[in-house]
Amino acid sequence: MIKMFFYEVGYSDYEACPIRVICHTKQFTKQEFSEMMVNCYVKASKDSEAKQIDWLSNSPELTDEDRDYYKYKPRVGSLYSDAYGFMITDYGFTEPNITANFIASDTEDIVPDDRSEFLETHCEDLKALRERFNVIEPRDNKINDILNGK
């Protein structure tokens, strides 16, 4: 059996923290892994900058003010996907085969407050949490209270 080592790649901003997992048959130190990631971000930035310069150079409808506004500014979020891809193509990392996931929506309450009812959700994982918190646990607690003479 091949031993795999798992690494997290991501970034954070005010609204989200997208994190993905990649794996490799070799174990890298934090410093080695970070150096590879930095290399991938630099490569992604160079590619992105070249595309931006090409677009600016070949868009006669843009004014000088537009060109200044759209000048290249690297950002972690815009380079993230390409940097992740370069870890796979340039360093031999792979994406793990995910067997299952549990990703509940955080846009709705699990337990409603006294003044509201649940909004309809299409998130099956949130439905499962609501069922457990609002139906199964209260029912089981009542049964335990009765059995314990409370």
Whose tokens are 């949490």? That residue is 129
pLDDT at 140 over 80: no
Whether the model clears a pTM of 0.75, i.e. scores above it, the answer is no
Q: What are the residue ranges spanned by the domains of the chain?
A: 5-91, 104-150
Which region holds residue 15: left if phi is over 0, alpha if psi is between -120 and 50, else beta? alpha
Which pLDDT tens digit goes with each residue over 19-63? 899 999 999 999 999 999 999 999 999 999 999 888 888 888 888
Contacts of 45 (CB under 8 A, 6+ apart): 74, 79
Class of domain 5-91: alpha beta
Which pLDDT tens digit goes with each residue over 63-116? 888 878 888 888 998 999 999 999 999 999 999 998 998 888 777 777 777 655
